[in-house]
């Protein structure tokens, strides 16, 4: 038993948006990560404190936390954050990379000389910058799509530069923020007309305070590796990168007309053993010193089975919600050298299957919002243990004056077939409570 005071902070549900509407999709993933990681740290004996946006205070009942402090709309969430950091022994931070949120929050923990159980400063900095990440991959001699920072002409994006790179890179490009997180604002262009029309239409939408990159488009399967990296318990100074699993990524609307959308994925992938051995060889050749703790690598597997690394996620990723369901051990044990060795644990490879996904629901019954939150949702949670983020309707979910509820589920099944069968059963249960699944 560790018996230390651990502060776990998740930006979206923990007050980072306390003066704005909480984005529904980001909230579902963020709360789900907070809930699962808190439960697994709790099993290791930590005393856990966390922050929660007051507007969702009713969700505190589902958290495995000893202390939940609320962040009100008029609060300075950073003051609350610093207060929790001061009272802790260790900190674990989950936050988006954009606007340096993750970096600045990690810096505060360093300033107060607390132990960081998430990725440290340099790793966060490197993973936040898509250009630095690209340089890192090239230095480490692994495949990565060519990437270039898009210059500005005054306050306007340089279209000539983009069109030039479009011709150079083979007539198919990706444009995305240089400090983006997840799948936000990723656009794929296959024709010059699409580029011209997009930028004419999107002038007001693009944040000129941010930098953007143009990237070579690589066609293939969107996958990710989830890794815990630590110092080898028997050989100080040697890193011990451990692949927990390899996951698919369900990214929709990768086109110029709509914002891209991450919905989840499943784990492990098909032919897991073959791909894992290939990735282990690649990881051994890379300098991963600056990525101690849990982090993720996004990559594309082409049809010829070659691998192109796209991004480093220097934080807990959404895939963890599914990964913990397919392993026979608590993956967080790897963070502490006094626990089992790599050899002992890696004998136990993923032996189950998990599909983790966000669902959007519309309520067609006659119960009040209060009744839904206090009666219907708790009953659903008892019947469907796969629900990680309970159905919730946020201000940002209103469409045509109707509330759209979002939730996040994660199955734990023998294989894909039984997982799909269980998801069908879950949808039937939702319907019995007058929730219709619309996405």
What would the 3-class secondary structure string for the chain be?
Answer: CCCCEEEEEECCCCCCCCCCCCCHHHHHHHHHHHHHHHHHHHHCCCEEEEEEEHHHHHHHHHCCCCEEEEECCCCCHHHHHHHHHHHCCEEEEECCCHHHHHHHHHHHHHHCCCEECCCCHHHHHHHHCHHHHHHHHHHCCCCCCCEEECCEECCEECHHHHHHHHHHCCCCEEEEECCCCCCCCCEEECCHHHHHHHHHHCCCCCCCCCCEEEEECCCCEEEEEEEEEEECCCCCCCEEEEEEEEEECEEECCECCECCEEEEEEECCCCHHHHHHHHHHHHHHCCCCCCCEEEEEEEEECCCCCEEEEEEECCCCCCHHHHCCCCCCCHHHHHCCCCCCHHHHHCCCCCCEEEEEEEEEEECCCCCHHHHHHHHHHHHHHHCCCEEEEEECCHHHCECCECCEEEEEECCECCHHHHHHHHHHHHHHHHHCCEEECC
Domain 147-216 fold is Dna Ligase; domain 1 (3.30.1490)
pLDDT of residue 233: 65
The answer to whether residue 5 scores a pLDDT higher than 60 is: yes
pLDDT of residue 358: 94
The answer to whether residue 262 scores a pLDDT higher than 90 is: no
pLDDT of residue 338: 46
Average pLDDT over residues 192-212: 77
The answer to whether residue 255 scores a pLDDT higher than 70 is: no
Does the domain spanning 219-346 belong to CATH 3.30.470.20?
A: yes
Which CATH number fits the domain 5-118, given the four candidates 1.20.120.350, 3.40.50.1820, 3.30.470.20, 3.40.50.11770? 3.40.50.11770
- Mean per-residue pLDDT over the chain, rounded: 89
The per-residue pLDDT for range 137-189, each reduced to its tens digit, is: 999 999 999 999 999 887 788 889 999 999 999 879 999 988 876 666 788 89
pLDDT level of residue 203 (50, 70, 90 thresholds): low
pLDDT level of residue 206 (50, 70, 90 thresholds): low
**Are 322 and 416 a contacting pair, CB within 8 Å?**
no
The per-residue pLDDT for range 22-45, each reduced to its tens digit, is: 988 889 999 999 999 999 999 999
pLDDT of residue 381: 96
Cβ-based neighbours of 325, under 8 Å, separated by 6 or more: 352, 354, 410, 411, 412
Higher-confidence residue of 106 and 241: namely 106
pLDDT of residue 342: 57
Average pLDDT over residues 273-297: 93
pLDDT of residue 238: 75
pLDDT of residue 319: 96
Average pLDDT over residues 390-394: 92
Domain coordinates in residue numbering, the chain:
5-118, 147-216, 219-346, 354-437
The answer to whether residue 280 scores a pLDDT higher than 60 is: yes
- Which of these ranges, 90-104, 182-196, 423-437, has the smallest mean pLDDT? 182-196
pLDDT of residue 355: 97
pLDDT of residue 119: 93
pLDDT of residue 398: 52
The dotted CATH code for 354-437 is 3.30.70
The answer to whether residue 400 scores a pLDDT higher than 80 is: no
The per-residue pLDDT for range 44-80, each reduced to its tens digit, is: 999 999 999 999 999 999 999 999 999 999 999 999 9
| % of the chain beyond a pLDDT of 70 | 89
pLDDT of residue 2: 66
The answer to whether residue 1 scores a pLDDT higher than 60 is: no
pLDDT of residue 148: 96
pLDDT of residue 120: 93
The answer to whether residue 199 scores a pLDDT higher than 90 is: no
């Amino acid at each position: 038993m560790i018996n230390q005071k651990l502060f776990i902070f998740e930006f979206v549900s923990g007050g980072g948006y306390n003066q704005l509407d909480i984005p529904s999709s980001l909230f579902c993933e963020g709360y789900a990560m907070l809930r699962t990681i808190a439960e697994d740290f709790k099993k290791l004996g930590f005393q856990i404190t966390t922050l929660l946006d007051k507007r969702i205070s009713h969700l505190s009942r589902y958290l495995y936390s000893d202390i939940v402090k609320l962040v009100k709309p008029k609060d300075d969430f950073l003051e609350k954050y610093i207060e929790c950091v001061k009272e802790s022994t260790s900190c674990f931070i989950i936050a988006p990379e954009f606007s340096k949120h993750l970096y600045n929050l990690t810096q505060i923990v360093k300033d107060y000389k607390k132990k960081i159980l998430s990725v440290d400063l340099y790793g966060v900095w490197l993973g936040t910058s898509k250009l630095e990440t690209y340089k890192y991959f090239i230095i480490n001699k692994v495949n990565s799509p060519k990437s270039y920072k898009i210059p500005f002409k005054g306050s306007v994006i340089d279209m000539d530069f983009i069109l030039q790179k479009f011709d150079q890179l083979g007539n198919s490009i990706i444009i995305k923020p240089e400090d983006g997180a997840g799948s936000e604002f990723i656009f794929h262009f296959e024709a010059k007309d699409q580029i011209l029309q997009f930028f004419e239409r999107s002038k007001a939408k693009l944040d000129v305070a941010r930098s953007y990159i143009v990237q070579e488009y690589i066609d293939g399967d969107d996958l990710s590796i989830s890794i815990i990296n630590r110092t080898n318990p028997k050989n100080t100074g040697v890193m011990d990168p451990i692949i927990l699993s390899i996951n698919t990524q369900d990214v929709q609307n990768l086109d110029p007309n709509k914002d891209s959308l991450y919905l989840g994925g499943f784990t492990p992938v098909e032919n897991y053993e073959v791909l894992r051995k290939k990735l282990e060889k690649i990881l051994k050749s890379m300098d991963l010193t600056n990525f101690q703790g849990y982090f993720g690598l996004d990559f594309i597997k082409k049809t010829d089975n070659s691998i192109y690394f796209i991004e480093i996620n220097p934080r807990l990723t959404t895939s963890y919600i599914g990964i913990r369901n397919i392993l026979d051990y608590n993956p967080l044990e790897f963070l502490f050298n006094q626990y089992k060795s790599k050899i002992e644990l890696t004998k136990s490879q993923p032996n189950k299957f998990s599909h983790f996904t966000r669902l959007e629901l519309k309520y067609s019954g006659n119960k009040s919002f209060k009744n839904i939150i206090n009666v219907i949702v708790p009953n659903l949670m008892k019947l469907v243990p796969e629900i990680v983020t309970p159905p919730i309707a946020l201000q940002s979910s209103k469409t045509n004056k109707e509330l759209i509820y979002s939730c996040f589920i994660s199955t734990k099944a023998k294989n894909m077939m039984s997982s799909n069968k269980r998801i069908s059963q879950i949808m039937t249960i939702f319907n019995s409570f007058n929730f219709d699944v619309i996405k």
